[in-house]
Amino acid sequence: MGRHVLLIEDEPNIVEAIRFILTRDGWRVSTHGDGADAVAVVQRLRPDVVILDVMLPGQLGLEVLRALRADPALAALRVMVLTAKGATRRKAWGRMCL
């Protein structure tokens, strides 16, 4: 697996923190702060891993996740979801989307 990660997150300070950690660990980190066109960015950059903030405003995180999973060309893509809630309910819908 390659080491290119795309971080989809709208909080600049969280982006900075994660970018710092992953870069030190040898990853190439791209970031994108807007959920609205996130799917197009993934399709263009073709990262090996996507880290997606599912708490993006307006249910955007959930929609992005669904759209990514609906695209057969992205079947091999690994998606990690980022959430501050960690509730079982979120885990449940995360599984539902996969």
Q: Contact residues for another protein (CB under 8 A)?
A: 11, 13-14, 16-18, 20-21, 24, 55, 57, 84-85
Q: Among residues 26 and 57, whose Cβ is nearest to another protein?
A: 57
Q: Among residues 72 and 86, whose Cβ is nearest to another protein?
A: 86
Q: Among residues 16 and 34, whose Cβ is nearest to another protein?
A: 16
CA 4 to CA 6: how far, in whole Å?
A: 7
| Amino acid (1-letter code) at residue 11 | E
